[in-house]
Amino acid sequence: MGSKLIFLIVIVLGVIALAQLVRVYELSSKLRNRGEHEVTNRDNNLNGRMMVLFMLLFYAGFIWLMLTYGWTGRGDAASVHGKETDWLLDINFIIIIAVFFFTNTLLFVFSYKYIRKPGVKAFYYPHNNKLEMLWTVVPACVLAVIIILGLKSWNEVTDNAKDESIRVELFSKQFDWTARYAGDDNKLGRFDYKLTLDNNELALLTATTIDSAIHAMEFGPTGIKTLISKLNDRTIMLVPEDKEKMENDLSRKERLIRLLYQMRERHDGKVDAQAWDDIIQKDTLFLCVNKEYEFNFRSKDVLHSAFFPHFRAQMNTVPGMTTRFKFIPDVTSAEMRKRKNNDKFNYVLMCNKICGGAHYKMKMMVVVLSESEYKAWMTNKKKQTFKDAYFATAAPAAPAEAAPMAGDTLSVAKK
């Protein structure tokens, strides 16, 4: 408290001192019969020189930053299109830095050079069509080059992935990433968010997962049956807020379960295999060097953005929608560590769209392996397909039981 008081006193004294200084200054101006609207030649020249001094310091700071922190700051691009992005970025930077120095220099030097001088009148020069045409046409031509180069690169980057490119899904939620490889058939299994359960976090769609989702929604610990029995149990006193919450929960689940039943009716079991052979991978994303990847992005809750700074790749993940981005990593992690002379370096996938408190922690390490390393890793990984993992965690209820009861639970739900 004491320090705050002293702090406050210092501020008050500072303001008083400033006020006194200003008053002294004003008195002296009054003596010299000068108003505040008249800028003396001394002040004018001083500020003109300051303009040039500032410009020099500004440029020095810029050059120091460039030398110290590098051209792009994040090292060589580690993907095929990323190299082109960097090339284009360099060209654009050369153009804009030239413009930056040229125009800023004119501005600051002119504001020093053409400072008011006794006896020199300003040059009346209201317009000149040729000059104006010049600085309309020249920027337009430069921009045309920038646009053409940029769009050429953009069309290549956003073009459809080749059929043989490897499909990987990146699933985002607050606050982590999960990868899903498409498995042997290179087809990602289908999904529906309503199928999300503890043993099916990515909500993959198969006849079995539909059945267990229905079962969990009806008989699970917070399922429809439990809710109804709690709400109808006269021996339990419910706080009104809790009761309202449970009723809302119930009506929500009743709507969802109807959709699940429709989904089951329409489901074609032939596509199940696409999901069962998928491989789910957390924490680290392993990629094979020089192979094209098509990433499919999904979000469970809010917007996220999959940002791979080293591969110059970025795409938002949007709930209710699948977005895509393709690239070919062409430098292995081991190679990049050698280049950077840093054996702890890793590629990374970061979240780059504000998504909640722990946004900044939401990331996944990315490791690019050589082809042989990748094959070895994948062979091992294939022992744990979605199917293996799913049945290993043993769904609590056998789906076969749930099916015959479906009819009467639906009628309960409809009540």
Partner 1 sequence: MAAVAHEAHGHHDAHGHHDHDHGHHEESFVSKYIFSQDHKMIGKQFLMTAVFMGLVAMLLSILFRIQLAWPGESSSFLSFFLGEEWAPGGVLKEDMYLGLVTIHGTIMVFFLLTGGLSGTFSNLLIPLQLGARDMASGFLNMLSYWMFLLSSVLMLSSLFIETGPAMAGWTVYPPLSALPQAVSGSGMGMTLWLFSMAIFIASSLIGSLNYIVTVLNLRTKGMKMTRMPLTIWAFFVTAILGVLSFPVLLSAALLLIMDRLAGTSFYLSDIIVGGEMLTNHGGSPILFQHLFWFLGHPEVYIVLLPALGLSSEIISTNSRKPIFGYRAMIGSILAIGFLSFIVWGHHMFVTGMNPFLGSVFVFTTLLIAIPSAVKVFNYITTIWKGSLVLTPAMLFALGLVSTFITGGVTGIILADSALDIAIHDTYFVVAHFHIVMGMSAVFGMFGGVYHWFPKMYGKMMNLRLGYAHFWITIVGAYGVFFPMHFVGLAGAPRRYYDYSVYGEFDVDSLNMMMDLNQIITVFAIIAALGQLLFLFNFFYSIYRGPKAPQNPWNGNTLEWTTPVEHMHGNWPGELPTVHRWPYDYSKPGSDVDFIPQTVPLAEGEEEH
Q: How would you list the strands of the sheet with 166-173, edge to edge? A: 279-282, 176-181, 166-173, 293-299, 323-327
DSSP string, 272-298: HHHHHT-EEEESEEEEETT--EEEEEE
Q: Is 157 in the site for partner 1 (CB under 8 A)?
A: yes
Number of residues that bind partner 1 (CB under 8 A): 125
Binding piece for partner 1, criterion CB under 8 A, among 176-184, 350-358, 372-380, 386-394: 350-358
Binders in 183-202 for partner 1, by CB under 8 A = 193-194, 196
Binders in 287-306 for partner 1, by CB under 8 A = 297, 300-303, 305
Q: Report d(CA 177, CA 100) in Å as an integer.
A: 41
Judged by CB, which is closer to partner 1: 281, or 284? 284
Among 187, 230, 243, 363, binds partner 1 (CB under 8 A): 363
Binding piece for partner 1, criterion CB under 8 A, among 261-269, 275-283, 312-320, 377-385: 312-320
Judged by CB, which is closer to partner 1: 125, or 268? 125
Binders in 319-338 for partner 1, by CB under 8 A = 319-321, 323-324
**Minimum Å distance from CB 404 to partner 1?**
25
Judged by CB, which is closer to partner 1: 288, or 313? 313
Binding piece for partner 1, criterion CB under 8 A, among 270-278, 317-325, 390-398, 407-415: 317-325
Binders in 365-384 for partner 1, by CB under 8 A = 365
Minimal CA–CA distance to 208: which of 11, 4, 399?
399
Asked if 196 contacts 203 with a C-beta cutoff of 8 angstroms, the reply is yes
Angle between helix 399-414 and helix 240-266 axes, rounded to 10 deg: 120
The HSE-up count of residue 192 (CA atoms within 13 Å, CB side) is 18
**Minimum Å distance from CB 357 to partner 1?**
4
Binders in 163-182 for partner 1, by CB under 8 A = 174
b or e along 142-171 (b: 16 or more beta carbons within 10 Å of the residue's beta carbon)?
eeeeeeeeeeeeeeebeeebeeebbbbbbb
**Minimum Å distance from CB 189 to partner 1?**
17
Judged by CB, which is closer to partner 1: 35, or 269? 35
**Minimum Å distance from CB 383 to partner 1?**
28
Q: Is 315 in the site for partner 1 (CB under 8 A)?
A: yes
DSSP category for residue 311? G
Here's the x/- map for partner 1, 227-256, by CB under 8 A: it reads as -------------------------x--xx
Judged by CB, which is closer to partner 1: 22, or 398? 22
Q: Is 347 in the site for partner 1 (CB under 8 A)?
A: yes
Q: Counting Cβ atoms within 10 Å, is residue 56 exposed (0-12), middle (13-18) or buried (19+)?
A: exposed
Here's the x/- map for partner 1, 41-80, by CB under 8 A: it reads as --xx--xx-xx--x--xx--xx--x---x--xxx------
DSSP string, 63-100: HHHHHHH-SSSS-S--BHHHHHHHHHHHHHHHHHHHHH
Minimal CA–CA distance to 299: which of 119, 177, 400, 205?
177
**Minimum Å distance from CB 28 to partner 1?**
11
**Minimum Å distance from CB 100 to partner 1?**
5
Q: Where are the alpha helices (DSSP H) in 304-351?
A: 333-340
Q: Report d(CA 283, CA 365) in Å as an integer.
A: 7
Q: Report d(CA 326, CA 293) in Å as an integer.
A: 5
Among 52, 59, 80, 150, binds partner 1 (CB under 8 A): 150
Q: Is 316 in the site for partner 1 (CB under 8 A)?
A: yes
Asked if 315 contacts 296 with a C-beta cutoff of 8 angstroms, the reply is no
Asked if 360 contacts 175 with a C-beta cutoff of 8 angstroms, the reply is no
Binders in 23-42 for partner 1, by CB under 8 A = 23, 25-26, 29-30, 35-37, 39
Q: Indicate the SS3 state at residue 337.
A: helix
Among 24, 358, 405, 412, binds partner 1 (CB under 8 A): 358
Taking CA atoms, 23 is separated from 10, 36, 43, 72, 134, in Å, by: 20, 13, 19, 51, 51
Q: Is 221 in the site for partner 1 (CB under 8 A)?
A: no
Among 10, 107, 398, 412, binds partner 1 (CB under 8 A): 107
Here's the x/- map for partner 1, 77-96, by CB under 8 A: it reads as -----x--x--xx--xx-xx
Q: Report d(CA 42, CA 400) in Å as an integer.
A: 95
Asked if 77 contacts 86 with a C-beta cutoff of 8 angstroms, the reply is yes
